[in-house]
Amino acid sequence: MADLQTLKVELGDRSYPIAIGRDLLRSGFDIRPYLPGGDCLIVSNEIVAPLYLQRVTALAKYCNVHSVQLPDGESSKTLAAVQTVIDELVRIGARRDATVIALGGGVTGDIAGFAASCYMRGISYIQVPTTLLAQVDSSVGGKTGVNHGGGKNLIGAFYQPELVLIDTATLGTLPEREFSAGLAEVIKHGAIADAEFFDWLESNMQSLLKRDDEALATAIRRCCEIKANIVAEDERETGDRALLNFGHTFGHAIETSLGYGEWLHGEAVAAGMLMAARLGGLNRSDQDRLRQLIAAAGLPVEPPPVGAGRMRQAMQLDKKASFNTLKFVLLRELGDAYTTTEYSDSLLSEILQSAGGKHDL
């Protein structure tokens, strides 16, 4: 397995590896050290399971392997889906030494991880992300949970996996729109923490869009390095981990206002990053570079017409808001982000007007 790269999320006795490589699901990656007991439940969805369930089942052959398939899409990220996973764990008689394997994108990973955190007060789980967004962001760091009608990811837990297994070959079956949505999170990592990586993305975006193996491996590894380092310093988002939410306060409000699934998460974050860049007074040249890179990735550069009032209402329900004060991640310059509750409300209102439309309150 010559192309295997391994990183580590350093969290003391809860540390875990991130294994990155092409065809890891086909080559017989040894996951025995991460399977503590007799039962294993693979949680996937109706799109991914026909493609990769058989391969993951073969990897986990040392256990009694079971599987459950969920509906695809953000609209299925609900407590009902968590209940489905827990019901299956009960049905197979899973004990505390059982393992849940999340096989799919960020939605599947969030649901499966949250179910694992709840069942018998916590059992092991493994992330096998098959979308770019999940590989560079949501599978790393232990954020699990589901949506509520009042807001995105309002119900969940910080719960770390035992292993993140990233097979870059799975990106070959990813629809173009989903792939572009994942590039939003790739761009975000450069924008908040690594100006040189942002430069690299500007030079290599066309290679990424062509799904060049070398370019993908470079981008995925760098994003995982950035996130692993941040999570190791601030697991429960009391400080710098909040920087990973660049564009998300606006982005989550877009998703909530439109209805989950209308825009993909990465699409909403893309527009949200540009709104946040404007709110933070990022210099015009850097704003233009960010806009051009987002556009080059095939992502939206303007919010949808959901209405300024509805956007503001959704933002007040954001998990990062407190005492009616919003917390934003803003940029001093590309590669240098900070969090703040100090911003111009008049400028915020002006920015939200760009989302004005027939849905306004």
Catalytic residue (choose from 241, 289, 310, 320) = 241
Give the DSSP H or E segment for 194: none
* Distance in angstroms (rounded) separating the CA atoms of residues 179 and 204: 15
Catalytic residue (choose from 22, 77, 252, 310) = 252
Catalytic residue (choose from 265, 289, 310, 320) = 265
> Is-contact 119 126, C-beta < 8 A?
no
Say how far residue 258 (Cα) sits from the centre of its chain: 19
Catalytic residue (choose from 188, 222, 245, 289) = 245
For the question of residue 229 being annotated catalytic, the response is no
Per the listing, tokens 């070398």 go with 214
Catalytic residue (choose from 66, 77, 248, 289) = 248
Other C-beta atoms closer than 10 Å to the C-beta of 142 total 21
Identity at 203, one-letter amino acid code = S
Other C-beta atoms closer than 10 Å to the C-beta of 206 total 10
For the question of residue 245 being annotated catalytic, the response is yes
Catalytic residue (choose from 143, 152, 188, 310) = 143
Catalytic residue (choose from 55, 152, 222, 227) = 227
Give the DSSP H or E segment for 186: helix 176-193
Coil vs helix vs strand at 282: coil
> Is-contact 359 351, C-beta < 8 A?
no
Say how far residue 75 (Cα) sits from the centre of its chain: 15
Write the CB contacts of 83 (distance below 8 Å, at least 6 apart in sequence): none
For the question of residue 189 being annotated catalytic, the response is no
Per the listing, tokens 């404007």 go with 278
For the question of residue 237 being annotated catalytic, the response is yes
Radius of gyration of the chain measured on its C-alpha atoms: 20
Catalytic residue (choose from 162, 185, 235, 267) = 185
Nearest CA among 105, 226, 217, 117 for reference residue 161: 117
For the question of residue 66 being annotated catalytic, the response is no
* Distance in angstroms (rounded) separating the CA atoms of residues 339 and 125: 31
For the question of residue 95 being annotated catalytic, the response is no
Catalytic residue (choose from 74, 237, 255, 267) = 237
DSSP collapsed to 3 states, 9-76: ECCHHHCEEEEEECCCCCCCCCCHHHCCCCEEEEEEECCCHHHHHHHHHHHCCCCEEEEEEECCCHHH
* Distance in angstroms (rounded) separating the CA atoms of residues 184 and 129: 16
DSSP 8-state assignment for residue 357: S
The catalytic site residues sit at 121, 143, 185, 227, 237, 241, 245, 248, 252, 265
